[in-house]
Amino acid sequence: MNISRRHMLVLLPAAAVAWESVLAGTPENSPNYNMSEHWWGMLIQIPKCIGCGNCVRACATENDVPDGFFRTWVERYHVTDYNLTEPEVISPNGGKDGFPIVQEDAGKYFYVPKMCNACADSPCTQVCPVGATFVSPDGAVLVDQSYCLGCAYCVQACPYGCRYIHPQKHVADKCTLCYHRITKGLTTACVENCPTGARQLVNLKDPKDPIHAFLKTHTVQVLKPQMATNSKAFYYGLDGSVR
């Protein structure tokens, strides 16, 4: 079973219509989007990731992510077979500029793209004192930056390190699952720019979404399952050493 990018096309029939609104300068009028028909998540296939950093760069460009902060980043794990629980992990500049070349071949290497886990029971939105961050009805964890106090409690509460305080706006900032794109029938910037199809945006409410067939035949895992956040970022081929 292989979900190629072209299958994803089937997923997003609204794209062409939405593009007309984009051309018309009124992208917010995407007429085909209905919140109740979506429950967004992400499928990340570790064996497909080559650590090129395209997703990190695309995310930074699309979302004006400030330097030194990351809505998505890529980690490279090096696990040797005599020490399975103490991996050596690097993520230079979040993997934005790629990774250093490795010559020796001892142990195994793999890349882990990280992003907001789009938790259904998100600990970050639970602690917000004013209701400035929330899980949207279609399953994205969003920040209302015109309402956020910048107390950073949500940053402390995210088990995955996905949030930061925007250095200029002084409010919480994070992956929006490219909410401005997915509501227009487009896919996220990281998915659009992943050359190997290691990331796939999934709509769990769509019975035709290839994720359902994938989940039938593959074992997937979420990050830190002990946190019980009901994460919707599903990892295929995730090693036990990943934190």
Partner 1 sequence: MTGVEGYMYPNEMELQWSILIVLYPFITGLVAGAFILASLERVFLVEAVKPIYRLALLTALAFLIDAPLPLQLHLGHPERSPEMYLTPHPTSAMAMFGYVYLWYLMVVLVFEIWLDYRKDIVIFAQTTKGLKGLIYKFLTMGSYNISPRALAIDNKIGWIITLIGIPSAFFLHGYVGFIFGSIKANPWWSSPLMPVVFIFSAMVSGIAAVMLIYMATCKLRKVAIDVRCVDTIAMYMFYIFIIDFALEMLDLIHRIYESDESFRSLNFMVHTQLYIPHIVIQICLGTVTPLVILFILQVSGKKFAEKVRLRLCTISGALAMIGIFAMRWNVVIGGQLFSKSFLGFTTYKVALVTKEGLIVAVALALLPFLFLWILIKFLPPWEESHHTPAAGD
Partner 2 sequence: MNIFKDSGHLFKFAACFVIGFLIYLGLRGFVVPKTFGQYGHYRGSALKDIAAKPIKYAGHQVCEDCHTDQATAKSAGKHVTVNCEACHGALAAHANDPTSVIPVKPDPLVLCARCHTATAAKPKDFPQVNIDEHSGGAPCTMCHTNPHSPAMGAAPAAGGAK
Q: Kindly list the residues in this chain that would bind partner 2 in the complex (CB under 8 A).
A: 4-6, 9, 12, 15-16, 19, 22-23, 27-28, 30, 35, 47-54, 58, 61-62, 76, 78, 98-99, 101-105, 109-111, 131-137, 142, 144, 146-147, 176, 179-181, 183-184, 186-187, 189, 192-197
Q: Which alpha helices (H) appear in 33-113, and where do they start and end?
A: 54-63
User: Residue 111 contacts by C-beta under 8 Å, 6 or more apart in sequence?
Assistant: 46, 49, 50, 51, 74, 75, 76, 77, 95, 99
Q: Can you spell out the DSSP letters for 182-224?
A: HTTT---HHHHH-TT--EEEEETT-TTSTHHHHHHHS-EE-SS
SS3 125: helix
Question: Minimum distance from CB of 40 to partner 2 (Å)?
Answer: 13
Q: Can you spell out the DSSP letters for 12-46?
A: -TTHHHHHHHHHTT-TT--TT--GGG--EEEEEEG
70 binds, among partner 2, partner 1, none (CB under 5 to 8 A by kind): partner 1
Phi/psi at 194 (5° precision):
-80, 115
| Closer residue to partner 2, CB minimum distance, 169 or 224 | 169
**130 near partner 1, rule: CB under 8 A:** yes
Among 27, 98, 123, 237, binds partner 1 (CB under 8 A): 123
Question: Minimum distance from CB of 226 to partner 2 (Å)?
Answer: 26
Residue count, binding to partner 1 (CB under 8 A): 44
Site string for partner 1, 63-102 (x = CB under 8 A): -----xxx--x-x-----------xxxxx-xx--------
| Closer residue to partner 1, CB minimum distance, 14 or 155 | 155
Determine the Cα–Cα distance for residues 41 and 26; give it in Å rounded to an integer: 26
Structure tokens at 142: 């969003």
Residues of this chain that bind partner 1 (CB under 8 A)? 68-70, 73, 75, 87-91, 93-94, 114, 123, 126-132, 147-153, 155-165, 169-171, 227, 243
